[in-house]
Structure 1
Amino acid sequence: MPPYDDWNKIDDEEDEELQDLSIYEGKRDVILFCIDCSPSMLELYDDPVYEDAKTCHLFTALDAAMQIEKKKVIVGPNDSVGILLFNTSRKSDLTRAQGSEIKRNTYIYQPISMMSAPKIQELMQLLEAAREDPSELRKEFPPLEGKRVPMGDVFTSCNWVLRDGAPKVASKRVFLITDEADPHSGPGSRQLITSARTTLIDLTQAGVSVEPFFISTPDKPFNVDLFYSSVLLPNTLAEDEDLETDPSVLPESISISRIEDLLSQMRFHEIPKRAQSSIPFHLAEGFTIGVKGYGLVTKQTKGTYKYFVDMGDRMEVVTSRTVYVDEDREAEVERNKIVYGMDLGATAASRGEEEEESSAPSVGRAGKNGQRVFYTADEVKAFTTLGLEPGIKLLGFKDRSELLFEDNVKHSYFIYPDEMAYSGSKRTFSALLKSMLKKDKIGLVLSLNRRNSSPSFCALVPQAEKADEGGWNDPAGFHLIPLPFADDIRAAPIEEACRASDKLKKSARAWIDKLSVKNGAYPPDSYPNPALAFHNAQLQASAFREEYDPESFDDLTEPKYEMIYKRAGQLIKSWKEDLAHDESANMVVATTGSKRKADVNVDEAEIRSKHEAGALGKLRVDQLKDFLKSKGIAISGKKADLVDRVSGWLDTN
Structure 2
Amino acid sequence: MAPYDDWNQVDEEEEEELQDASMYETKRDVILFCIDASESMMQLYEDPTYEGVQTSHLLTALSAAVDIQKKKILTGPNDSVGILLFNTTRKSTTDGTQGSELKNSTFLYQPIAPLSAPKVQEVMQLLEAAREDPEELSRTFPPLRGKNVPMGDVFTSCNWVLRDGAPKTASKRVFLITDNDNPHPSYGSQQLTISARTTLIDLVQVGVTIEPFFIETDDKKFDSKKFYADVLLPSNTVDEDELQEDTSVLPESISISRIEDLLAQMRFREVPKRAIYSIPFHLANGFTIGVKGYGLVTEQKKGAYRYFADLGDRMEVVETRTKYVDEGTECEVDKAKILYGGDMGAGAGAAADDDESDDAQGGFGTRVVKKGQRPFFTAEEIRKFRTLGLEPGIKLLGFKDKGELAFEDNVKHSQFIYPDEMSYSGSKRTFSALLKSMIKKDKIGIALCLTRRNASSAFCALVPQAENTEKSGWRDPAGFHLIQFPFADDMRTAPIEEGFKASEELTKLALAWIEKLKVRQGGYDYDAFPNPALAYHNEQLQASAFREEYDPESFEDLTQPKVGPMHKRAGQYMKAWKDALENDPTSTYVVPATTGSKRKAEDTTFDISEIKSMYDSGSLAKLRVDQLKEFLKAKGLGVSGKKADLIERVSQWFDAH
Q: Deviations over 1:377-432 (max 9, x none)?
A: 21111110001111112222223222222221111001111222223322222232
Match of 1:501 among 495, 500, 503: 503
Structure 2 SS opposite 1:434: helix
Cα gap change, 1:93 to 1:593, in 2 (>3 Å):
closer
Query: Pairwise mapping of residues 48-67 of structure 1 onto structure 2 (< 5 A)?
Result: 48-67=48-67
Q: In 1, Cα distance between the equivalents of 2:77 and 2:241?
A: 44
- Counterpart residue identity of residue 101, structure 2: E
Match of 2:566 among 564, 567, 570: 564
Q: In 1, Cα distance between the equivalents of 2:131 and 2:493?
A: 63
Cα deviation for residue 108 of structure 1 reads: 1.5
Query: Pairwise mapping of residues 257-268 of structure 1 onto structure 2 (< 5 A)?
Result: 257-268=257-268
* Preserved contact between residue 230 and residue 247 of structure 1 (Cα < 8 Å): yes
Name the stretch that deviates more: 9-18 or 134-143: 9-18
* Preserved contact between residue 78 and residue 114 of structure 2 (Cα < 8 Å): yes
Structure 1 SS opposite 2:385: helix
Aligned to 1:467: 469
Cα gap change, 1:502 to 1:463, in 2 (>3 Å):
farther
Name the stretch that deviates more: 440-449 or 263-272: 440-449
Cα gap change, 1:95 to 1:254, in 2 (>3 Å):
farther
Q: In 1, Cα distance between the equivalents of 2:239 and 2:30?
A: 31
Cα deviation for residue 553 of structure 1 reads: 0.3
* Preserved contact between residue 339 and residue 377 of structure 1 (Cα < 8 Å): yes
Cα deviation for residue 16 of structure 1 reads: 4.7
Aligned to 2:11: 10
Cα gap change, 1:206 to 1:237, in 2 (>3 Å):
closer
Q: In 1, Cα distance between the equivalents of 2:521 and 2:234?
A: 29
Name the stretch that deviates more: 228-237 or 295-304: 228-237
Considering only aligned residues, what root-mean-square deviation do their CA atoms show, in Å?
Answer: 3.2
Cα gap change, 1:588 to 1:306, in 2 (>3 Å):
closer
- Counterpart residue identity of residue 641, structure 1: K
Cα deviation for residue 62 of structure 1 reads: 0.7
- 1:652 pairs with 2:653: no
Cα deviation for residue 13 of structure 1 reads: 5.4
Cα deviation for residue 12 of structure 1 reads: 7.7
* Preserved contact between residue 216 and residue 257 of structure 2 (Cα < 8 Å): yes
* Preserved contact between residue 156 and residue 199 of structure 1 (Cα < 8 Å): yes
Cα gap change, 1:588 to 1:318, in 2 (>3 Å):
closer
Cα gap change, 1:19 to 1:184, in 2 (>3 Å):
farther
Cα gap change, 1:192 to 1:592, in 2 (>3 Å):
closer
Name the stretch that deviates more: 238-247 or 123-132: 238-247
Q: Deviations over 1:562-582 (max 9, x none)?
A: 221232222222222232233
Cα gap change, 1:245 to 1:111, in 2 (>3 Å):
closer
Cα gap change, 1:175 to 1:594, in 2 (>3 Å):
closer
- Provide the aligned length of Structure 1 versus Structure 2: 615
* Preserved contact between residue 223 and residue 252 of structure 1 (Cα < 8 Å): no
Q: What residue ranges of structure 2 are gaps of 5+ in the alignment?
A: 353-365, 603-622, 650-657
- Counterpart residue identity of residue 308, structure 1: F
Structure 2 SS opposite 1:458: strand
Q: Deviations over 1:127-182 (max 9, x none)?
A: 22222222222222121011111112112222222222223332221111111222
Name the stretch that deviates more: 189-198 or 64-73: 189-198
- Counterpart residue identity of residue 437, structure 1: I
Cα deviation for residue 635 of structure 1 reads: 3.5
Cα gap change, 1:482 to 1:587, in 2 (>3 Å):
same
Query: Pairwise mapping of residues 284-303 of structure 1 onto structure 2 (< 5 A)?
Result: 284-303=284-303
Aligned to 1:612: none
- 1:409 pairs with 2:411: yes
Aligned to 2:226: 226
Q: What residue ranges of structure 1 are gaps of 5+ in the alignment?
A: 353-363, 601-627
Query: Pairwise mapping of residues 132-531 of structure 1 onto structure 2 (< 5 A)?
Result: 132-235=132-235, 243-345=243-345, 348=348, 365-518=367-520, 521-531=523-533
Q: In 2, Cα distance between the equivalents of 1:394 and 1:210?
A: 34
TM-score (norm 1): 0.86
Aligned to 2:73: 73
- Counterpart residue identity of residue 627, structure 2: G
Q: In 2, Cα distance between the equivalents of 1:96 and 1:217?
A: 41
Q: In 1, Cα distance between the equivalents of 2:636 and 2:107?
A: 81
TM-score (norm 2): 0.86
- Counterpart residue identity of residue 633, structure 1: L
Q: In 2, Cα distance between the equivalents of 1:340 and 1:594?
A: 33
- 1:643 pairs with 2:620: no
Cα deviation for residue 640 of structure 1 reads: 5.9
Cα gap change, 1:22 to 1:281, in 2 (>3 Å):
closer
- Percent identity between matched residues is 63
* Preserved contact between residue 95 and residue 102 of structure 1 (Cα < 8 Å): no
Cα gap change, 1:523 to 1:382, in 2 (>3 Å):
same
Cα deviation for residue 241 of structure 1 reads: 6.3
